[in-house]
Chains A and B, each alone.
Chain A
Amino acid sequence: DAGVIQSPRHEVTEMGQEVTLRCKPISGHNSLFWYRQTMMRGLELLIYFNNNVPIDDSGMPEDRFSAKMPNASFSTLKIQPSEPRDSAVYFCASSSGTAPGQFFGPGTRLTVL
């Protein structure tokens, strides 16, 4: 079975540009999580969805960040406008309502110049 799929794997952009990260969760999973990982701050939960509905977005750093889950098989994390301090690895993870634990994607390494 395919795991969590994220695209792109690497993104280099210039400050002020819009960035869109994409995630396809494992089929049948009903919860989806977006994380950010940096050396300074470690692993941070940004937002999570349950049955496509945002449940907790308290980790979203500011209004420049937004996330959507239009259906059970797709989610996006958008940064507009991007800033150099947004440079990080962004992970998507999904989980099932029938078993504890999350499954992580390979991540998107974002560099904002």
Chain B
Amino acid sequence: AQSVTQLGSHVSVSEGALVLLRCNYSSSVPPYLFWYVQYPNQGLQLLLKYTTGATLVKGINGFEAEFKKSETSFHLTKPSAHMSDAAEYFCAVSEWGGGNKLTFGTGTQLKVEL
């Protein structure tokens, strides 16, 4: 069975500061990993995904994540936070061939302060 743990349900950063959102996963097979962002009153939008190949993945809006198999982690980072980054972020894992079913973490609410 797969699972995802997001450390910190709420994270607060200053505008211009580094954003680091943590995600650890559990999977019995090589995983596919995803980060989604949800802005208020909107659906979930795919930020980035890791499938195979390069372990550092770049996504939209300046975000990136690194797949670390030894640490079973897929942390999301952005060098400089912007007010518009305030949203909820979800990490998810899937197994290829499993009908693309995703297992989501509980989400991290990012607050960006002036």
Contacts and interface: CB of A to CB of B under 8 A. Distances in A.
A34 interface: no
A50 B101 CA distance: 10
Given A43-B90, A43-B104, A104 B49 contact: no
Nearest to B34: A101
A107 interface: yes
Interface stretch (B20-28, B40-48, B77-85): B40-48
Contacts, number: 52
B2 interface: no
B101 A43 contact: no
Given A42-B106, A43-B90, A43-B107, A103 B100 contact: no
7 contacts: A42-B106, A43-B104, A96-B100, A100-B32, A101-B34, A101-B46, A106-B43
Given A45-B101, A96-B100, A107-B42, 17 more contacts: A31-B99, A31-B100, A42-B104, A42-B106, A43-B90, A48-B99, A50-B99, A93-B44, A100-B32, A100-B49, A100-B51, A100-B96, A101-B34, A101-B46, A101-B100, A102-B100, A105-B43
Interface of A: 4, 31, 33, 42-43, 45, 48, 50, 55-56, 91, 93, 95-97, 100-107, 109
